Each structure stands twice: as C-alpha cells, then as structure tokens.
Amino acid sequence: MSFIQKIKEKKKVIIAGAALAIAEAAVFVHSRYPTAFPHIYYTATDSFTTTPTEKIIEEQFGIDYEGDSNEDRQKELAQHLQTVYDQNPALLNHCQKIVLHSETVRSSPLVKPFLDYDGLATSPGASINILNNTIEVVTHELAHLKYHRTPNKFKEKLAKIFGDSYHLEAKPVLSNKNTWIDDTNGPKDGFVVPYGATSESENVATYVPKAYNPSFWYDLRLQQSEKYLQTLTLLHEYEFISQKQFEEAKERIENNPLKDLLKILENLKTQVNVVNGEKDDSP
C-alpha cells in the first residue's frame, strides 16, 4: 500500500469514528431531551409562518415565539401569558423565547417513548419549551427561569426553611414523581407536591403555579407545617408571586373555615387513643 493510500485509509477511519461519535451523541441527546431536534426545526423554519397571534405574543409580551403554527393553541398560550401578566408580570421578566411544541410532535413515536416532561426551561437561552399547554406548566417553567436568575441570598433563605428535607420522602423522579414513599400525594412537610421535594428549583417551580389556583390553599394539610407560610413570604419577597397572590394564599391558610373542624377531629382522635389505652390497661 502506497503512502497516499495509507493516508486515505486513515482519513476513512477518522471520518467513520467521527460519524459514530456524532450518532451516539445524537442518540444520547434525543433520549434525554426528545424535543431538542424539533426545537432546532422550529428555529430553522420560524420565519416561514407568522400568525396574528404570534405577533401579539411577541409584541405584547416581548417574548420570541417559535413552534406550533396552530393558532388556536397559540391563543391558549397567549391567554396564559396574559393571566401571568395581569397577576404577576415580574414572572415574565427573564423569558426571552417560548417554543410551543405541536400535538404531532408530542405524540410522535420518535418523541413520545422518551418524553417524561410537560415543559422544559433552558436557563442559558432564557427559553421555555411547552408541550402540555396549560397555565400550570407555563408558570412552572417561568419559575425555573426566574429561580436561576435570583440572587443567592434567596436560595440561602430557602435552605433555612427546608434544610435537608429534600429527597427524604419523595420517590425518585424516574420511579414516580407524583407520590411520596408511602404512595400518598399532595402537600407534606412544607412541599406542595412530592415532585417539589426532589430539588430546590422544583420546590419553587411547584409552588408558583399554585398561586394561580387559590382554592389549593384551603387544603387542610397546609395546617400541619409553618413552612408553607414561610415559603410564600419568601416567594413574595423575591417577586415569584404578587402581593395579591400572597395575601390570598395567606388568608386561606390562616383563616381556613375547616381548621376548627380539624382541631375537633384531632381532639377526638386523642380521646379515642386515651380510652383505648385505658381499656388495654384494664385487667
């Protein structure tokens, strides 16, 4: 084999190795973030289609829109953004781009088997990806962006409230992000849902959407920990929730009409335990 042929063979090996590495990287990225390639596609084709609602989103909220060209879904997203703007515009401050994925992408056999999230916040790009187009998902991802741009003092104060409570009772994310280890769900030990106990960021991002569902704060389980009001006070201080949202939540927790009933039930439970104890001690 001549010297030139050897060089050509080495080039083939290098090219084949590089191609394999790129393919492996692509498979890894797709398995972890199955919406990454649709996101790239939306970015590349963004200038081809512009609807009136897309213009409203970009002009009224100052947020670049990419993604689904279905205007009905765009209008739903615009309504969610309007709700946030009306109740707490500060939550929108750090969002520069929203990518709304179509139902076709979400249900695609190339995406659905790998998909384990309804939305995704990308801090370096100040963007959020939305698959499940609801106010809860939108505000959850917006809260992630704000969390990553909030001073460390906020995180220090949050750590004083929750300490080492994270991961203690929440099931691993890949196992079940919706239940505690005892298979219950809902508020517990200062967290509003089990998924919030998986990290500081998820704790904040699960609290914020509840501010858009005021009836949540009537849940009697919120009476069992001072962490709820402490966390709400902190979130209000750093503008994750507005003054009005804070006052609504505080009012419902402190003056829950069912709180007295809870005390009565607890007293009855104590009395029953005492009676049972006396019976057990009798000959």
Express each pLDDT in 17-61 by its tens digit. Answer: 544 444 444 344 444 555 665 666 576 676 667 899 999 999 999
200-238 tens-digit pLDDT: 999 999 999 999 999 999 999 998 899 999 999 999 999
Q: Is the dihedral of CA 48, 49, 54, 59 positive or negative?
A: positive
Residue 22 is predicted with a pLDDT of 41
User: Residue 34 — φ and ψ, nearest 5°?
Assistant: -65, -10
Higher pLDDT, 106 or 131: 131
- Indicate the angle between helix axes 71-87 and 135-147, nearest 10 degrees: 60
Residue 212 is predicted with a pLDDT of 97
Report pTM: 0.79
Higher pLDDT, 112 or 87: 87
Flag whether pLDDT at 267 surpasses 90. Answer: no
58-104 tens-digit pLDDT: 999 999 999 899 999 999 999 999 999 999 999 999 999 999 998 88
